[in-house]
Amino acid sequence: MRWALVRVCLAVTAMVVIAFAVPLGLVVKELARDRALTNAERQAAAVAPALAITSDRSQLARALATTQAGGQDRIALRIPGTVSSPAVDLGTHRVSSAALDSASANGEAVTVRVPGGLALLRPTAVSSGTIAVVEVFVPDGDLTRGVTTAWLVLSGVGLGLIITSVGIADRLGSRMIGPAVRLAGAAHRLGEGDLGVRVPEAGPGELRAAAAAFNAMADQVVQLLASERELAADLSHRLRTPLTVLRLNTASLGDGAAADQTRAAVAQLEGEVDQIIRAAREHRTPGAVPAGCDAAEVIRERMAFWSALAEDEAREVRTAGADRPVRVPVARAELTAALDAMLGNVFRHTPEGTAFAVDVHSSDEAVIVLVSDAGPGVSDPVAAVRRGHGDGGQGSTGLGLDIVRRVAESTGGDVAIGRSVLGGAEIRVWLARDPRTGLPPAPGHHRRATLRRRR
């Protein structure tokens, strides 16, 4: 917009300068021509007194020589002869005799174009009763004297006006565009998660109103997020009472593998609730990179937990790639929640006895976690990762895969759902090792690599 204003001002100023400078330049040229011809008329009129009192050749020659044009050999005189007086012809004529005769017969001053300039022919009556013609030569240099300088001055003034107008338009444009640029930058930073960004209310009235509205919106967003965190913390805190009762009841189950597993599950559930409360109340700095964790260790731990349930349901379980450390920029609790969401979906949405597998692929740029099963698959992969679109008929809240998606996108990665080689669903989680530069590649590339490795 700033350059658009400058271009408009440049076009308008150029049109105004041209509209005034061109006619003014032509007027200057005509004034120079009129000045030269007026000077020639004055030179010719200076000879008229001598012609009125004498027709002597020598006296007329002296009268011509006293003029400025006579000193430059630019004036000539012709007096037709009569019975009582001879003809007089003085100076260098640059026009033809026919032109002189025509001027003498008409009795009016005329200008004739001659090589190198103009010739002014001025008829004057003499004492002998004839009409003498005084010829004054005006060179082209006198006709255009000062015109070039005037045109250069006009061009300089016009160029100066254009440059000045462009500079003023640029400054005015910057004053108008500056607040708009700051507002756009603040909106971009707010979209990236900087909740503390605000815009100074400056510039035109419309932009000041927009800045005030943006600041009010940002304050409202901060308040809504704070209310949401407090609500999540309060709702999670309400679970403490039934969890306490459940933990006390598990203490009376006695000894045995099932009792130990139940107590461990209750302890883990209580720890997860505490983690939710702490995460809801803490304020994370926007753009901060998490400390990260060892994905292989988390996978081994969670697979050990879910293997007991898989054994009870006669499910075949396979794990690959989790035998060596794999660092990912994801908090341990978040990665654990994502794995539990994917594995919980396997147990919830596939019949007993369905096999599943967890594979880990790592490189210098990314880590890929594949959870596949031999179940019926996912009918609508797009809706599966959309928040709140779970199958309520099967007890799903629609938040599990959304949690997985948010964990992947926090690193710059993504989540893709497809068909696995086991015949069921395959969930591919792409985690970038550097969240600031991670960009997910084509989903099919990793899926084909997975197929080749399994085969």
Residue 86: CATH number of its domain: 3.30.450.20
Q: Tell whether the model's pLDDT for residue 51 goes beyond 60.
A: yes
Is residue 56 predicted with pLDDT exceeding 80?
A: no
Which one-letter amino acid corresponds to residue 61?
A
pTM score, whole prediction:
0.44
Of residues 271 and 327, which shows the higher confidence score?
327
Average per-residue pLDDT for the chain: 80
State yes or no: pLDDT of 259 exceeds 80. Answer: no
114 and 259 housed in the same domain? no
* 95 and 13 share one domain: yes
Residues 1-21, mean pLDDT to the nearest whole number: 82
Digit-coded pLDDT (tens) for 360-413: 999 888 999 999 999 888 877 776 666 544 444 444 445 667 788 888 888 889
Percent of the chain with pLDDT over 90: 9
In this model, does residue 357 exceed pLDDT 90? yes
pLDDT single digits (tens) 187-235: 888 888 788 888 888 877 888 888 889 889 988 888 888 777 777 666 6
Q: Higher pLDDT residue, 153 or 83?
A: 153
Judge whether residue 438 has pLDDT over 60.
Answer: no
Q: Does residue 130 register a pLDDT over 60?
A: yes
The mean pLDDT of 442-452, rounded to a whole number, is 39
Number of domains in the chain: 3
Final residue belonging to a domain, choices 148, 178, 202: 148
pLDDT tens digit sequence for 272-290:
777 766 665 555 544 444 5
Q: Is residue 310 part of a domain?
A: yes
Whole domain around residue 57: which residue ranges? 2-148
Domain boundary among 148, 173, 206: 148
Residue 372 confidence (pLDDT): 92
Identify whether 433 is part of a domain: yes
pLDDT tens string 278-322: 665 555 544 444 568 899 999 999 888 888 888 888 899 999 988
Per residue in 75-87, pLDDT (tens digit) is 888 888 776 777 7
Distance, CA of 147 to CA of 144 (rounded, Å): 5
Query: Domain end: 133, 148, 163, which one?
Result: 148
Residues 441 and 343 in one domain: yes
The answer as to whether 155 is a domain residue is no
436 found inside a domain = yes
CB atoms within 10 A of CB 431: 28
Asked whether residue 302 falls in the same domain as residue 261, the answer is no
Handedness of CA 321, 326, 331, 332 (dihedral sign): positive
Report CA-CA distances (Å) from 448 to 417, 443, 445.
Answer: 13, 9, 5
